[in-house]
């Protein structure tokens, strides 16, 4: 199976410019390619992972990646399918985000070994020194207003208003392709399906300005079985930065994907061979309640993004929390596993009697309710049931001197911090 056929089989290809010509190029020898990432935040998120994985597949097949972090385009803002214009960031902020994203990308591609080792690029390197007049004369003249207005990303914004800044974004992305071709012989661009208009602006500029052919592969917008945009967890993006989305949170995200999505996501988000995934699918369908596909998916993606040690820690947290073994976990592990639960910072003047602290922290609605909760055996301190109304919290109840975990009933967790 060719690399193109495998990418297609995995569901990683949505559109291409000339499929047969591209397949021939990929089979003829090493192709230099790029994928761009604008620093619109200090971390990439799950939505960026799909084109990154395509880049890794291509590199493993012998092709050479030139990942681009848009130090220049990040200062402008891409209008593609956005309802309103992005807030502009300072140059210093964008520069900081560029460095963080470059570091993240270095985890997925090989920058050290072989003739096809990855080379990092930043479009501020060429846009930072080009004058506005030169850009209009040497690049702008190749784009007609009619051509630029025909892009779906522009059409959708015309009704609500689009600034010239964002209108010109497609020319900037097109020029990236031209410059990478001129400097490094790049002939293929990888990107999201929402980038089709910007990416074909690059093939158009290559054709008109350099009389060369460029190729484009777009990856599909990943949705779950209900059609909901994938990569959001309770309204928040799933980030690739462990400080923004912990390995445990990411593990839980994958562990909880719907049955109808699990095998498809194994093809998209892991590097497991397709025949191995077929075997997993057979076992999974025979006993879906065991969630085999989700467990393997969570293991593979968390290991890929954060490393094996982080996966093992996430698995340990999951097992111990499920069993209620709070004391088996460190404060740091508990902060990961219980990051989304209600939290109360204990004050020096607080009465640490169990009834008083249940009310003060909002765990129980009243003293009467708190007394009933304790007497009925519904309150657990660090996994141990407390039924003594005179119980006083002490240093012995502090895990690593930092926090105490209170559980009310079977599943409602609360954290006291000191």
Return binding residues for L-tyrosine: 34, 169, 173
Annotated binding-site residues for ATP read 232
Report the alpha-carbon distance of residue 404 to residue 418 in Å, rounded: 9
The rounded distance, in Å, linking the Cα atoms of 241 and 388 is 43
At a CB cut-off of 8 Å and minimum separation 6, what does 235 contact? none
Q: Are 349 and 383 in contact (CB under 8 A)?
A: no
């Amino acid at each position: 199976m060719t690399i193109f056929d495998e990418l297609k089989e995995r569901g990683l290809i949505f559109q291409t410019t000339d499929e047969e010509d591209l397949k021939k190029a990929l089979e003829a020898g090493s192709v230099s390619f790029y994928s761009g990432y604008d620093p619109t935040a200090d971390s990439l998120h799950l939505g960026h992972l799909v084109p990154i994985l395509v880049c890794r597949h291509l590199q493993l097949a012998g092709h050479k990646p030139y990942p681009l972090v848009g130090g220049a385009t990040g200062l402008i803002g891409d209008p593609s399918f956005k309802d309103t214009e992005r807030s502009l960031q300072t140059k210093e902020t964008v520069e900081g985000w560029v460095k963080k994203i470059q570091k993240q990308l270095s985890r997925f591609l090989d920058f050290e070994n072989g003739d096809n080792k990855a080379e990092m690029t930043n479009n501020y390197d060429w846009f930072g020194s080009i004058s506005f007049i030169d850009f209009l004369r040497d690049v702008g003249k190749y784009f007609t207003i009619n051509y630029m207005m025909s892009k779906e990303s522009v059409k959708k914004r015309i009704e609500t208003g689009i600034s010239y800044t964002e209108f010109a974004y497609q020319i900037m992305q097109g020029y990236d392709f031209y410059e990478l071709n001129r400097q490094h012989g790049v002939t293929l661009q990888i990107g999201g399906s929402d980038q089709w208009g910007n990416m074909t602006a690059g093939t158009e500029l290559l054709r008109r300005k350099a009389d060369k052919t460029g190729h484009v592969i777009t990856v599909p917008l990943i949705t779950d079985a209900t059609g909901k945009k994938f990569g959001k967890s309770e309204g928040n993006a799933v980030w690739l930065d462990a400080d923004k989305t912990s390995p445990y949170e990411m593990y839980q995200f994958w562990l909880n994907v719907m049955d109808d999505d699990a095998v498809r996501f194994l093809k998209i988000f892991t590097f497991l061979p397709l025949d191995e995934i077929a075997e997993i699918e057979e076992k999974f369908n025979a006993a879906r309640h065991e969630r085999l596909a989700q467990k393997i998916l969570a293991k593979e993606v968390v290991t890929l993004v954060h490393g094996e040690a982080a996966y093992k820690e996430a698995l340990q947290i999951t097992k111990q929390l499920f069993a209620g073994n709070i004391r088996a976990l460190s404060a740091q592990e508990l902060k990961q596993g219980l990051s989304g639960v209600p939290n109360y910072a204990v004050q020096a003047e607080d009465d640490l009697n169990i009834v008083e602290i249940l009310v003060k922290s909002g765990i129980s609605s009243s003293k009467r309710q708190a007394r009933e909760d304790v007497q009925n055996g519904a309150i657990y301190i660090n996994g141990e049931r407390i039924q003594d109304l005179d119980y006083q919290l002490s240093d012995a109840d502090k895990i690593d001197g930092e926090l105490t975990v209170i559980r009310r009933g079977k599943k409602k967790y609360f954290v006291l911090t000191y």
